[in-house]
Amino acid sequence: MKNRNARGNGSVRQRENGTWEARCTINGVRRSFYGDKQSDALKAMRAAQKSADDGAYFEPSRVTLAKWLDMWLDEYVAHSCKPLTLAAYQSQVKIRIKPALGKIKLHSLNSTQIQAFYNNLLREENLSPKTIKNVHGILHKALDQALKLRYIGFNPADACTLPRVEKKEIKPLTEQEISAFLQEIEGDPLQDFFTVALFTGMREGEICGLSWDSIDFKQGTITIKQQLCKEKKAGGKHYIATTKNDKTRVLTVAPFVIDILKGVRRKQISDRRELGLIYDNEFNLVFTNAAGRFIVPQTALKRFKAIATKIGRPDARFHDLRHTYAVTSLQEGDDVKTVQQNLGHATASFTLDVYGHVSEKMKKESAARMQSYFEKIKA
């Protein structure tokens, strides 16, 4: 494709391999910017032009990794991800990556230096393999962007070996523990909250952020479309955000769950009438305190741990209610695809990977079905 002028200064062309190149002059030097799409190449070029106009442009050969990470976070991450994700990236960059590798020139950074950094995180700082994998993910993405812009010739993080992440064994509540849990929460202010969490598999943030416009009493469904989050900073405020994977899912729940929600609705209406202007349910949430304020996740977690300890499961986490729902659904005959959709997993294979272990009850039921089939065809 022939060169053609881009909107504004510079030109853009499609290369023989299908990628795009945008070119312009910055500080007297002709520079090229690349991308898989025309828009990506132009975006990179215009970001550089803007940096030059602001006096913040740098020559790749002179910039340190720390400087590049700052630019990457500001120009390529800040406007394309959720606030919590950005905060997590910023934290790892500040606390771990910059102190160890920040002073190294971007174009001089090599795989050996990065590997030594990962090994130190494991052996000296005793970080878990999963945390190291997360740090690697951030650094790799930043270096990948530098590679796309041709600031570096290759991604040095590609050749690094990460410690093996051991899959944690899930520990759902047993049938006896479920019964004990339900007995223990009777009369508790969070009884309805815990019961709905247990029998819908909602994540902590999802049930805390569940709004009334997500409940369809006639159809018996709950639409999971948002979650309650908190800013990752001192004194951070709570806010409503989309779900973990930005996807909405609809649960068809058991009638008793709908009955519980109807009771919660009646209680809220009564509280609102009694308190008048003092009542303030700003997010129109299902689960609140008597004054309409949202349930603070940490408060719910603290109460859950106390109850779990009483039933002999001090190791249980709130997330284990979600695991309990998933395992119970499978044991009671739900197919994997249904469980995957109810949990909001991206694929059924992921659900199988997490809950692939077959319980003794499921094994016996499978054997009984095969016995029945054998007797039928033999008759």
The pLDDT value recorded for residue 158 is 95
Do 11 and 126 lie in one domain? The reply is: yes
Three-state DSSP class for residue 86: helix
Residue type, 355: Y
Query: Would you say residue 292 has pLDDT above 90?
Result: yes
Which residue is it, tokens 């018996």? 220
CA torsion sign for 189, 190, 193, 194 is: negative
Do 258 and 295 lie in one domain? The reply is: yes
Domain final residue, candidates 279, 299, 316: 316
Residue 144 domain-assigned (yes or no)? yes
Domain final residue, candidates 316, 348, 371: 316
Query: Can you give the C-alpha Rg of the chain in angstroms?
Result: 27
Nearest C-alpha neighbor of 67 from the set 80, 58, 76: 58
Are the CB atoms for 232 and 84 separated by under 8 Å? yes
Q: Rounded to the nearest 5°, which phi and psi values hold at 105?
A: -65, 140
Complete DSSP assignment for 256-307: HHHHHHHHHHHHHHHHHHHHGGG---TT-BSSB-TTSPBPPHHHHHHHHHHH
Do 58 and 83 lie in one domain? The reply is: yes
Nearest C-alpha neighbor of 180 from the set 304, 308, 306, 360: 308
Do 121 and 207 lie in one domain? The reply is: no
Task: Please state, as a whole number, how many other Cβ atoms lie within 10 Å of the Cβ of residue 371.
Answer: 10
Average pLDDT of the chain, as a whole number: 89
Say which range, 219-223, 228-232, 285-289, has the weakest mean pLDDT. Answer: 228-232
Q: How many CA atoms lie within 13 A of 96 on its CB side?
A: 25
Domain around 196 = 175-316
> Which tokens is 172 given?
């759902």
Helix (H) or strand (E) run with residue 184 in it: helix 175-184
The pLDDT value recorded for residue 55 is 66
Residue 324 domain-assigned (yes or no)? no
CATH number at residue 227: 1.10.443.10
Do 23 and 97 lie in one domain? The reply is: yes
Total count of domains within the chain: 2
Residue 325 domain-assigned (yes or no)? no
Return d(Cα 218, Cα 215) in angstroms, integer. 9
Average pLDDT of span 25-36:
78
Residue 65 domain-assigned (yes or no)? yes
CATH number at residue 61: 1.10.150.130
Residue 244 domain-assigned (yes or no)? yes
Do 225 and 143 lie in one domain? The reply is: no
In the DSSP assignment, the letter for residue 95 is: I
Do 194 and 109 lie in one domain? The reply is: no
Do 193 and 148 lie in one domain? The reply is: no
Residue 376 domain-assigned (yes or no)? no
Residue 205 domain-assigned (yes or no)? yes
The pLDDT value recorded for residue 318 is 96
> Which tokens is 349 given?
């294979």
The pLDDT value recorded for residue 16 is 85
Q: What is the pLDDT of residues 297-335, one digit of tens each?
A: 999 999 999 999 999 999 999 999 999 999 999 888 888
Domain final residue, candidates 266, 294, 316: 316
Do 145 and 24 lie in one domain? The reply is: yes
Do 200 and 312 lie in one domain? The reply is: yes
The proportion of the chain whose per-residue pLDDT surpasses 70, expressed as a percent, equals 94
Query: Would you say residue 18 has pLDDT above 90?
Result: no
Do 180 and 282 lie in one domain? The reply is: yes
The more confidently predicted of residues 143 and 352 is 143
